[in-house]
Amino acid sequence: MPYATASDHPAIALPSPRRSSAIEPPLSRASPCTVHLLGVPLDLGAARRGVDMGPSALRLAHLDETLRRLGHVVQDGGNLASPDRATVPADVAGTIAAIATVCAELADRTAAAVRADARPLVLGGDHSIAAGSVAGVARALHERGESLGLLWLDAHADINTPDTSPSGNVHGMPVAHLLGLGDARLATLAGDAPAVRAEHIAYVGLRDLDAAEQQRIHALGIAAFTMRDIDERGMRAVMQDAIAIASRGTGGFHVSLDLDLLDPDEAPGVGTPVRGGVTLREAHLAMELLHDTGAMRAMDIVEVNPILDRHNRTAELAVDLVASAFGRRIL
């Protein structure tokens, strides 16, 4: 049966169709906040080049404009200076030393933003930068007598240390450093205490782990929701449990989103793609549920690699996910 039209029922006033407009802002349920953008064009922690262009790709995808249209105040702090890879010693010790210098400045910047009641949004770069971004947010919360929860949305656990990593890639180590393990230069950026405690961490989307990482997650009792959990229970149930873990006994949580959480068919431009990831709609639901809590204190967007992307598709997808995490709604 064809759809009825206004001419079919002239006595019925049909609503005017909603028109999309570049001027009209998207509907938002967000309470306006100050978002402090900070780019970290660092690729020292990864074997594959290209993620150092991630901050530029995200800005080109209209990240600033998207957040402003949602009603937020945006402060763009520019990019942190990152060393040229050609000038850094190729061994793990030299790489960690260079990354630690960048992460120390990053921790200072995210801590200052939180103290100023802003919400840091850190643009990577490889995932090693989270050793600094999360540590700074944790430091600011520790000063208030609060703990920080951590939601790690990623295909990988990133909980190796220099002693256990089979590759030596530092972007596979930030969670260990945030727990106070591994190299002291990265493990102490939050201060005397580790940035986060194991009981306040929840992984979502895991599907590619080393044996040492599996053992460490079990030994520390970290909540880890794999793709099987998402397949069996659905994203809503998994995110509700993960959020509860990161929120219990904390002053809020930090969301660290690696775009390889998504399936490579959705997000081809990532540093270390792994087949079998979450769908676009599952990822948006996860972001929407995070926003609904009102407890997100900071966010990382990492591992966007424009060299491997198609027409900046992955960066544009990332900006859409940020919009959902910062309050964009359908109705």
Quick check: is 126 catalytic?
no
Quick check: is 254 catalytic?
no
Quick check: is 62 catalytic?
no
- C-alpha span between 209 and 236 (Å, rounded): 23
**Catalytic-role residue among 36, 72, 126, 127:** 127
Dihedral sign computed on CA atoms, order 241, 246, 248, 252: negative
Peptide bond preceding 168: is omega within 30 degrees of 0, i.e. cis? no
Q: How far is CA 11 from CA 4, 7, 15, in A?
A: 13, 9, 13
**Catalytic-role residue among 183, 229, 303, 316:** 303
DSSP string over 119-181: EEEEEESSGGGHHHHHHHHHHHHHHTT---EEEEESSS-----TTT-SS--GGG-HHHHHTT-
Token pair, residue 266, equals 């959705």
Quick check: is 84 catalytic?
no
Quick check: is 258 catalytic?
yes
**Catalytic-role residue among 43, 126, 154, 183:** 154
Quick check: is 241 catalytic?
no
Contact indicator for 51, 302 with CB cutoff of 8 Å:
yes
Dihedral sign computed on CA atoms, order 80, 85, 86, 90: positive
Q: How far is CA 29 from CA 59, 275, 317, 327, in A?
A: 23, 33, 20, 5
Quick check: is 266 catalytic?
no
Quick check: is 260 catalytic?
yes
**Catalytic-role residue among 52, 126, 260, 309:** 260
**Catalytic-role residue among 43, 258, 288, 316:** 258
**Catalytic-role residue among 126, 158, 266, 300:** 158
What amino acid positions are annotated as catalytic residues?
127, 154, 156, 158, 171, 258, 260, 303
